[in-house]
A and B are shown apart, each in its own frame.
Chain A
Amino acid sequence: MLNSSLQQLGSALRAKKISSVELTQLYLDRIASLNPALNAYITTNASTSLAQARAADALLAGSKAQPLTGIPIAQKDIFCAKGWRTTCGSKMLENFIAPYDAHVIAQFNNAGAVNLGKTNMDEFAMGSSNETSYFGAVKNPWDRNAVPGGSSGGAACAVAARLCAAATGTDTGGSIRQPAALCGISGIKPTYGTVSRYGMIAFASSLDQAGPMARSAEDLALLLNVMTGFDARDSTSLPRDKEDYARDLNKPLAGLRIGLPKEFFAEGLAQDVAGCVNAAIAEYIKLGASIVDISLPNSKLAVPVYYVLAPAEASSNLSRYDGVRYGYRAPEYSDLTEMYEKSRAQGFGAEVKRRIMIGTYVLSHGYYDAYYLQAQKIRRLIAQDFDYAFKQCDVIMGPTSPSTAFNLGEKGDDPVQMYLSDIYTIAVNLAGLPGMSIPAGFGSNGRPVGLQIIGDYFAEAKMLNVAHKYQLATDWHTRQPNGI
């Protein structure tokens, strides 16, 4: 049951081979036994989950069941879910009970899925290792000395350790793809504007995008079908017709042109990761694809541009945490300003404060043109590189992350080193393109390696097809960690 696809689980539920209550209880029991060591979940609420499962069983007994009805999904703790504690990995929101549902949560509820719990994450999604979570770091299930990646590290860990059937994540600079790579699972960040940001706690609004994390591309397609769709409550949501992301899964890959950006295979890429990525590309050639050498000349600027834009937007978004309407308030203060300053100083962790400081600086008087505007201009250059590349190829491939999972604590003191672990993922967010990561083997230390697939705007169905055919030909995505 734990290794069944979502399609198989749905069939088993509809055929009454298992009930949603039984399936939910199975996962809750696994969480109870494994989560103390892995720390993938911040909050579970068995009675609420089981009540949802009973409601799903009622739907399954009738004729109203949908593909995900009764399936337990882990929700990243960045999504407001009514009545659920929603912390965003921060002390600031330690006791915040969301008064409403995020669009993503409502979509899963409408589909009859079960909310299994809220997964751990870097504080306000700012981090690449999950070590900035106020609730402690998540452990990588493949090696508990290793980070799971971030910021959706709890989600990646939960999927890899079979602590949920599938999970949600969000990706601002790589936060779905990098942890998916480091934990050996599949994840996709769709085109910016495809999934509503309503009720998804904001980090950098022009980059934030939610997406699914699961064990296979086939599962991702079913999840995307539920998560996507226009929502008027998100001003950047794109009005588009509903599409079936599973429609092209089985199309043959003959004639597929894969672009390999030389910048993604240059200095800084670990040998073992390069070996796995090259082997995956060789597999694609066997499947009928051809290779096109491409260049993304401005991609080296993605990290500096990102570390202007994302903190700038974050400093603005996080100004709402003032200790007045919700969230943490300092116990002692003498006046209003001190109340703000102490509540924010005590409620936010070091990395969040660092980014608020960077953002405040680059947006402050006299610096706007030199930093924010310049970054927005280079952002267009980066997007134009991709436009040009997609005239020559159908998808772009490369590594998701420059190395396999690093050790807990290894990069803790050096923010710049940490930021560079997203060097291959950030440009995709800046351009607003869809990107995904799928398992492609293991590094010399036995830790997973991810293959990144980047598509043109709205090419998710094509990317899932490309990933699915690889997963039919290989078995990396079916491997599971020992001891779980």
Chain B
Amino acid sequence: MLLAKADVQKVARLARLAMNETEIESARSQLSGIFDLIAEMQAVDTQGIVPMSHAQDVSQRLREDVVTETNQRELFQSIAPQVESGLYLVPQVIE
């Protein structure tokens, strides 16, 4: 299955990955090879099979709605790329 160039560009955009022309072309041929591998599973009859997400079929645990985390803003912000006055800085998003 050879993916269309437009498909690869769309996926790169959805995944927020900047890619130049050469990278798009190389991704296109490598992804196509991988999708050929994946295609083997498409012929399998899975009618009536329940999808499996966890081996033990456990259900989501619930807990009391109480505060369990303490505020560690300074520690967490010490590893951020850009902060100012306790805020994370990003390019302006609202004009």
In the assembled complex, the CB of A87 is this many whole angstroms from the nearest CB of chain B, namely: 13
The distance in angstroms between the C-alpha atoms of A360 and B17, with both chains bound, is 11
Does B46 count as interface, using CB distance less than 8 angstroms? Answer: yes
Contact call B91/A333, Cβ cutoff below 8 A? yes
Interface size on A, residues (CB 8 A): 72
Within 8 A of B (CB), among A388-435: 414-416, 419, 431-433
Contact call A375/B41, Cβ cutoff below 8 A? yes
Within 8 A of A (CB), among B2-23: 3, 7-8, 10-12, 14-19
Closest to B19 in A: A345
Contact call A383/B38, Cβ cutoff below 8 A? no
A232-B61, A324-B90, A344-B18 known; A96-B11 Cβ under 8 A: no
Contact call A335/B42, Cβ cutoff below 8 A? no
Q: Which residues of A contact B7 (CB under 8 A)?
A: 361
The distance in angstroms between the C-alpha atoms of A416 and B34, with both chains bound, is 6
Does A480 count as interface, using CB distance less than 8 angstroms? Answer: no
Contact call A336/B93, Cβ cutoff below 8 A? yes
Binds B, one of A4-12, A248-256, A302-310: A302-310
Does A272 count as interface, using CB distance less than 8 angstroms? Answer: no
Contact call B79/A335, Cβ cutoff below 8 A? no
Contact call A360/B15, Cβ cutoff below 8 A? yes
Does A325 count as interface, using CB distance less than 8 angstroms? Answer: yes
Does A107 count as interface, using CB distance less than 8 angstroms? Answer: no
Contact call B79/A340, Cβ cutoff below 8 A? no
Interface size on B, residues (CB 8 A): 52
A342-B18, A416-B34, A457-B56 known; A326-B79 Cβ under 8 A: yes
The distance in angstroms between the C-alpha atoms of A232 and B66, with both chains bound, is 14
Q: Which residues of A contact B61 (CB under 8 A)?
A: 232, 235
A99-B79, A324-B90 known; A380-B18 Cβ under 8 A: no
Contact call B52/A380, Cβ cutoff below 8 A? yes
Contact call A301/B34, Cβ cutoff below 8 A? no
The distance in angstroms between the C-alpha atoms of A373 and B51, with both chains bound, is 7
The distance in angstroms between the C-alpha atoms of A335 and B93, with both chains bound, is 8
Contact call B54/A360, Cβ cutoff below 8 A? no
Closest to A348 in B: B17
Within 8 A of B (CB), among A427-458: 431-433, 457
Within 8 A of B (CB), among A295-351: 298, 300-301, 303-305, 307-308, 315, 319, 322-329, 333-342, 344-345, 348
Name 10 interchain pairs, CB-CB below 8 A, sorted by A.
A99-B78, A304-B41, A315-B15, A325-B76, A326-B81, A327-B81, A336-B91, A354-B27, A358-B35, A360-B11
Give 10 closest A-B pairs by Cβ, nearest first.
Answer: A432-B55, A376-B51, A329-B81, A377-B46, A380-B52, A341-B18, A345-B18, A377-B49, A360-B15, A340-B16
Chain A residues with a Cβ under 8 A of chain B: 95-97, 99, 191-193, 206, 232, 235-236, 238, 298, 300-301, 303-305, 307-308, 315, 319, 322-329, 333-342, 344-345, 348, 353-354, 356-358, 360-362, 364, 370-371, 373-381, 383, 414-416, 419, 431-433, 457
